[in-house]
Chains A and B, each alone.
Chain A
């Protein structure tokens, strides 16, 4: 299982890259659209970048549930722990 802090760092880095933000501006409670100024295509691109970075698959259903940075981190942590224990 990956260290949650490592996941967090990597997620923030990917989001900062896609949205051209300073990583310090990105908090766990930041909402992609309302707080970080992303549009729907940005969110889909971020999901895709996360899939690639963590070697995971995020279903459309799960994508809809990911509204904040924290949601993404939590999803990835759960996903990686699930696949590690499987």
Chain B
């Protein structure tokens, strides 16, 4: 018999706000977190000078000053989001159950900012000036590592690294570990902080990014006919998952249930989705099957919706293939229109958005939706949040390498 798994806490650090509540309010208000890159001086020769940076983040409430040099920004965001999620769940790891608590937090890229800084140090000052804590500060699994040390969680500790699907895979894998009885509690999600000159230049060289430098707030426009690429974002999204029994035993406030997880691969191209949306179709079906749910039960999809010409067209195609007539009835929105694309953290924050959507009965909109694209013809909840009862919410994540993930959350019912 498989066990039921529930969500009891969510934590977010996003380009809209450094707190969960602040981020949710901004999402519902339809605000944009995109602006000019402020942390680095980007010359006119940069084809892209805009991003969705986290603004006004102060790590000191969460992390001792002396430890900051040992944690690049992606780890700091994960710590802040996890503390918020634990606070919402009113949960602290008790020593007697420590080996039943998992930490599964991944990152798509890891510590780009410090890698670039240390490489500069290496070239300018030589190998003897590279910091001793450089490696543990930048490697992808260290958000999970640091958080097990901080929380005392001694169960499974892993870090998926599956590009833009990372956060969703982390949560899905955590769900399965609890469902199968390997762990009772999991701290799971994704984190990213890679808005650096090198990363921007690299993504821009692929022509993956919007070049709308003259109107940053309008740059991320998923499903709109004038979309021209994604906007890099950063932050972290963390969920606290528990077996239903564990949550009930401690009298936790249950936010919703996680019921479905799909994961697969396109086996097609390093960056482009399959032309017919095959991988996306199969991963949504896999999640529905895992949830033992008919497509008609889904009320809302938080789309991958990156704002690239290709993704949004093919994701729309895939949704129509999976949901048939019901595709016209369900609400689909891309919160990347407001937060930008948080890469490895995207699946984490978008899972958190699904949880809060079910909790509050409000669907955040797709902003900047102005010009209809005949090939993107679903209800994208344009520009205004919608008050609507949502019983089942799905979230899609598709990553470079053709790696896909899909999660399904459901209102908790006895």
Size of the A side of the interface (Cβ < 8 Å), in residues, is 11
Contact A41 B66 (CB under 8 A): no
| Complex partner residue of A48 from B66, B128, B136, CB under 8 angstroms | B128
A19–B68 Cα gap in the complex (Å)? 11
User: Do A45 and B129 contact each other (CB < 8 Å), given the known contacts A19-B66, A20-B64, A20-B65?
Assistant: no
- Whether B128 pairs with A45 at a CB distance below 8 angstroms is no
Range class of the B interface residue count: 10 to 19
CB of A42 within 8 A of CB of B66, answer yes
Contact B129 A20 (CB under 8 A): no
Is the beta-carbon distance between A18 and B66 smaller than 8 angstroms?
Answer: yes
- Contact among B64, B65, B69 for A45, CB-based, below 8 A: B69
Chain B positions 148 through 184: 1 when the CB is less than 8 Å from some CB of chain A, otherwise 0 = 0000000000000000000000000000000000000
Task: Compute how far the CA of A19 lies from the CA of B66 in the bound complex, rounded to whole angstroms.
Answer: 5
Q: Shortest distance in angstroms between B229's beta carbon and chain A's nearest beta carbon?
A: 40
A5-21 vs B, Cβ < 8 Å mask (1 yes, 0 no): 00000000000001110
B128–A41 CB distance below 8 A: no
Chain A residues with CB under 8 A of B267: none
Instruction: Name the one of A18, A44, A52 contacting B129, with C-beta atoms under 8 angstroms.
Output: A52
A29 close to chain B: CB less than 8 A = no
Which residues of A sit under 8 angstroms from B61, Cβ to Cβ? none
Interface assignment of B272: CB less than 8 Å from any CB of chain A: no
Closest to B132 in A: A44
Cβ of B268 within 8 Å of any chain A Cβ, yes or no, is: no
Cβ of B270 < 8 Å from any Cβ of A? no
| Residue pair A48, B64 in contact (C-beta under 8 Å) | no
Closest chain A residue to B69, Cβ basis? A45
Q: What separation, in Å, do the CA atoms of A57 and B127 have in the docked complex?
A: 13
Contact with A51, one of B128, B131, B132 (Cβ below 8 angstroms) = B128
Question: In the complex, how many angstroms separate the beta carbon of A19 from the nearest chain B beta carbon?
Answer: 5
Question: Which residues of chain B are within 8 angstroms of A18 by Cβ–Cβ distance?
Answer: 66, 69
Closest CB of chain A to B123's CB: distance in Å?
Answer: 16
- A20–B63 Cα gap in the complex (Å)? 12
The answer to whether B129 and A41 have CB atoms under 8 Å apart is no
The contact string, 1 if C-beta is below 8 Å from chain A, for chain B 113-129, is 00000000000010011
B205 at the interface (CB under 8 A from A): no
Q: Which residues of B contact A42 (CB under 8 A)?
A: 66
CA distance A42 to B237 in the complex (A): 30
The distance in angstroms between the C-alpha atoms of A44 and B69, with both chains bound, is 13
Chain A: minimal CB distance from B101 (Å): 24
Q: Which residues of A contact B125 (CB under 8 A)?
A: 52
Contact indicator per residue, chain A 26-44, by CB within 8 Å of chain B (1) or not (0):
0000000000000001101
CA distance A85 to B383 in the complex (A): 75
Contacting residue for B70 out of A20, A41, A57, CB 8 A: A41
A48 pairs with B65, CB closer than 8 A: no
Contacts of B132 in A (CB 8 A): 41, 44-45, 48
Binary B-proximity of A41-78 (CB < 8 A = 1, otherwise 0): 11011001001100001000000000000000000000
Query: With contacts A18-B66, A45-B131 known, what are 19 further pairs, Cβ within 8 A?
Result: A18-B69, A19-B66, A20-B65, A20-B66, A41-B70, A41-B132, A41-B133, A41-B136, A42-B66, A45-B69, A45-B132, A45-B133, A48-B128, A48-B129, A48-B131, A48-B132, A51-B128, A52-B125, A52-B129
- Chain B residues within CB distance 8 Å of chain A: 64-66, 69-70, 125, 128-129, 131-133, 136
Closest 5 CB pairs of A and B: A44-B132, A20-B66, A20-B65, A41-B133, A41-B132
